[in-house]
Structure formats: structure tokens, C-alpha cells
Amino acid sequence: AAIPAGGPLILWGHSLGSGVAAQMAAEGRGKALVLESPYTSLADLGAELYPIFPVRLLLTDPFDTATLVSDIKVPVLIFHSTDDPVVPYAMGTRLAARFGERARFVSFDRLGHYPHQIDLSSPVADWLEKNAIPH
């Protein structure tokens, strides 16, 4: 994908889209990656939400962000709320731990599954600046 004329491509994925954005980052398609309410893998999430179903056997694409970590070479910013009822907060913290120093984890309370319901532009702009990514 071509980078837009206005600046670098910042990949941003929320929930299900976090797996797509991570895959794109692993393919070298962006200059930075923002993950909002991310899961470790779709298989992990499905197994947690539906423990009686053979979710891992049914998925054709597991959107396994955790296994892509070593292929993602760009800075990563992760937003997750402690009370997320859809994607467990622990999945966000596990991803952040796998990225280590390459990721910044921002925790929220009482934002549920939608951290973007508040204005995230300031923490994103600060993070972009810290990582020398023009915005």
C-alpha cells in the first residue's frame, strides 16, 4: 500500500481490527502500530468466550497477533480498559509484555471495550513524537 501524501501510514486497529492492523505491520505496511482493545489471537479469544466449542479447530485465520510480535518492527502503542467486557484486559497486557520495550501500554478504567470514546489524540501525538514519527 502506498503511504498517503500527508504523512506516514499509522496502522490503528480496534478489537477484531487489531489483528488485521498487526498483520499489516508484520508485512511492513506502516510506520507505527496502535492496538486498541487487542487480543492475543482470535483463537485465544474464542476459546475464552466459548469454552465448550472447538474454536481453534473451526478458525481458518486465527489472527494471531502474539505470534507476529517478532515480525513487527515498528513502534507499538496499546490501549486497553481494565473493565473491557469483550476482550479480556489480560490479553492486552500479555501482548504488551511480548513486545517489551518496543511497546507502550496505556491502561484505562471504566471505558469498557471502547477506549476511543475519549479523545486519544494527545497520547497518540506524544507517542508519535517520542518515536520520531512525523504527524
Predicted local distance difference test score (pLDDT) of residue 57: 57
Rounded Cα gap, residues 78 and 96, in angstroms:
7
Looking at residue 35, its amino acid is L
Give pLDDT tens digits for 110-124: 999 999 999 999 999
Give pLDDT tens digits for 1-37: 455 566 789 999 999 899 999 999 999 999 999 999 9
Q: What are the CA-CA distances from residue 125 to residues 57, 82, 95, 120 (Å)?
A: 40, 23, 22, 9
Residue 25's SS3 state is helix
More confident: 107 or 51: 107
Q: Is the pLDDT of residue 105 over 60?
A: yes
Rounded Cα gap, residues 61 and 46, in angstroms:
12
Give pLDDT tens digits for 33-82: 999 999 997 766 766 766 677 655 565 666 789 989 999 999 999 999 99
Q: Give the count of beta carbons closer than 10 Å to the beta carbon of residue 72.
A: 24
